[in-house]
Amino acid sequence: MKRSTPSVESAGRTAPDARLVVFLFLWLALLGLGPTRMLQDPGAFWHTVVGEQMLTQGHVVSTDSFSFTHEGDEWLAQQWLGECAMAVVHRIAGLDGVILLAATIIAAIFTIIFGRFAKAGPPLPVCVGATIIAIGASSYHFIPRPHLATLAGMTLLTLILLDVESGRISQTRLWILPPLFVLWANTHGGVLGGLATLIIFATAWLLCPRFLRRPSRLQQISAMDAADADDAIPFAKPRAPLLATIVGLATISILVNPFGPALPRVWISLMGSSVIPKVIIEHARLAPFSPEGGMILLLAAVYCYLLNNVRRRGLRIAWLLPAIWFPLALSRVRHGPIFALVTALTVADMVPYAPACRQWLYTLGHLKTTPRRRP
Please write the tens of the pLDDT for every residue from 274-333: 888 877 877 788 888 888 889 999 999 999 999 998 887 778 899 999 999 999 999 988
Query: Looking at the DSSP assignment, which residues form a beta bridge with residue 74?
Result: 63
Q: 94's torsion region: left (phi>0), alpha (psi -120 to 50) or beta?
A: left
For residue 68, give Cα distances in angstroms to 48, 64, 122, 135, 339.
21, 9, 58, 40, 38
Q: Measuring CA to CA, which residue among 312, 311, 339 is closest to residue 324?
A: 339
Is the pLDDT assigned to residue 218 strictly greater than 80? no
Please write the tens of the pLDDT for every residue from 134-173: 999 998 889 999 999 999 999 999 999 999 998 889 999 9
Q: Measuring CA to CA, which residue among 15, 339, 354 is closest to residue 158?
A: 339
Question: What is the structure's pLDDT at 217?
Answer: 63
Average pLDDT (92-103) is 95
pTM of the shown model: 0.88
Is the pLDDT assigned to residue 28 strictly greater than 90? yes
What is the full DSSP assignment across 218-263? BSPSSHHHHHT-GGGS------HHHHHHHHHHHHHHTT-STTTTHH
